[in-house]
Amino acid sequence: MRRRHCSMIPVTSVASAFVCCVLLSSCDRPEDQPVSESSALSESGELQLERAEQFLGAGQTDEVLHIATELTTSASGDWRSHELLARAHMQRALTLQHEGLIELSSASLGKAVDGYARALPLADGIGGLYRSAADAAHMHGQTELAIAWYEQAIEIDPDDPRSPLRLAQVIFESHPDEARALLNRVVQLNTSIPEAYASLSLLDATQGDIASARSHMKHAVAMATDVAAIRIVQARMHRMLGEPQRGAEILLALPPADRAMESTTTELARCWGDIGQHARAADAWAACYHSLAHRSDAWRFALEAAKSSLRAGNQPRAASFLDQAVYLSAPPAEVEAARRTQSS
């Protein structure tokens, strides 16, 4: 039975720590793609496709979009032209997201979903293509469509652990029992996927199974000691088990670049907040703000620093961050909401 969910998992959820990995893999071409003998691409079209792959690998998205747009017109019956266009839009979305241009990134994701939707009926049951399409749909907030495509990918290639892993992360909070079944399936298919163990650990912690939570996390960390995403989830597990100090220690041990990421800072600030160290949370958001000052949405981090400063009772520091947020064109409603933050 197909599951139906209406809302995309928020940034605060388990899936957020693994988003970067999913985003990057979604720009890859499906590995198990056959080329139809009745390909609609001409010989020159095949050469254009090869050139586009080279441009895509070099990050030259504009060139890829130009070629892919031409191919979808001249060879509209070949799924590869539409899939190429979808991947180009995915790469563009990642670039825009990195720059903090979230609305433009979302628009590119929508175009990617449209491209995959045109490619899928033309392809002959390619599991990797359905998985990539589902990744794009999930990132764009089209959760029902993502679930349907992940399920189709699983049906086509039941021995590939990636689709059940990603589907489990999509339904993690809304359907934890189904998510656990999927994650157990992933572990049975491949015992070397740390994200599966980390996700199981959080499910255990949510359900109060402390021993299993620690055991699953131990497996995850052993396989991915230096992976920031796993460490973030480990910190969250400790916070959920009532050990926020340990969670903060884990995140503070990360390299500076990883420590300043939004996903890391979000969890670190929560750990500090649970301890009552709101000034330390403000420090974390300040570091994130300065590290990501190039982004168009850097005002968001300034507002978080302001709110933590207000909770710490540091009005002058909060005022400074609020002024910086205003200077960066933060929405007035967001600024006023931040000003109303109460001291803890």
* Chain segment 156-182, per-residue pLDDT in tens: 999 999 999 999 999 999 999 999 999
CA dist., res. 278 & res. 269, Å (int) = 8
149 falls within a domain: no
- Let me know if residue 173 belongs to a domain: no
Q: Among the three residues 275, 308, 330, which one is the final residue of a domain in this structure?
A: 275
Mean pLDDT within 208-221:
97
Q: What is the dihedral angle through the alpha carbons of 216, 221, 222, 228, rounded to the nearest 10 degrees?
A: 150
Question: 275, 307, 329: which is the final residue of a domain?
Answer: 275
Is a pLDDT exceeding 50 seen at residue 120?
yes
Last residue of a domain, one of 256, 275, 294: 275
One domain for residues 195 and 248: yes
Kindly state whether residue 106 falls inside one of the protein's structural domains. Answer: no
Give 169-238 as a DSSP string.
Answer: HHSTTT-HHHHHHHHHHHHHH-TT-HHHHHHHHHHHHHTT-HHHHHHHHHHHHHH-TT-HHHHHHHHHHH
Q: Are residues 268 and 296 in the same domain?
A: no
Q: From its phi and psi, is residue 331 left (phi > 0), alpha (psi between -120 and 50) or beta? A: beta
Q: Does residue 321 belong to any structural domain of this protein?
A: yes
What is the predicted pLDDT for the residue at 274?
97
Query: In this structure, is residue 307 part of a structural domain?
Result: yes
Residues 198 and 268 in one domain: yes
Q: What's the pLDDT score for residue 342? A: 83
Give the tens place of pLDDT for each residue, 37-54.
445 778 888 888 889 888
pLDDT at position 33: 54
Domain housing 235: 191-275
Q: Is residue 40 part of a domain?
A: no
Quick check: is 183 in a domain? Answer: no
Whether residue 153 is contained in a domain is answered as: no
| Global pTM value | 0.85
Q: 242 in the Ramachandran plot: left (φ > 0), alpha (ψ -120 to 50) or beta?
A: left
Query: 341 and 290 in one domain?
Result: yes
Phi, psi of 293, rounded to the nearest 5 degrees: -65, -20
22-36: b (≥16 Cβ within 10 Å) or e:
bbeebbeebeeeeee
Residues 308 and 255 in one domain: no
The CATH number of the domain where 251 resides is what? 1.25.40
- Residues of the chain above pLDDT 70, percent: 88
307 & 329 share domain: yes
Closest CA to 166 of 201, 128, 215, 206: 128
- Residues 281, 271, single domain; the answer is no
C-alpha span between 344 and 330 (Å, rounded): 24
Whether the pLDDT of residue 1 is over 90: the answer is no
- Please indicate whether residue 57 or residue 343 has the higher confidence score (pLDDT): 57
Q: How many domains does the chain have?
A: 2
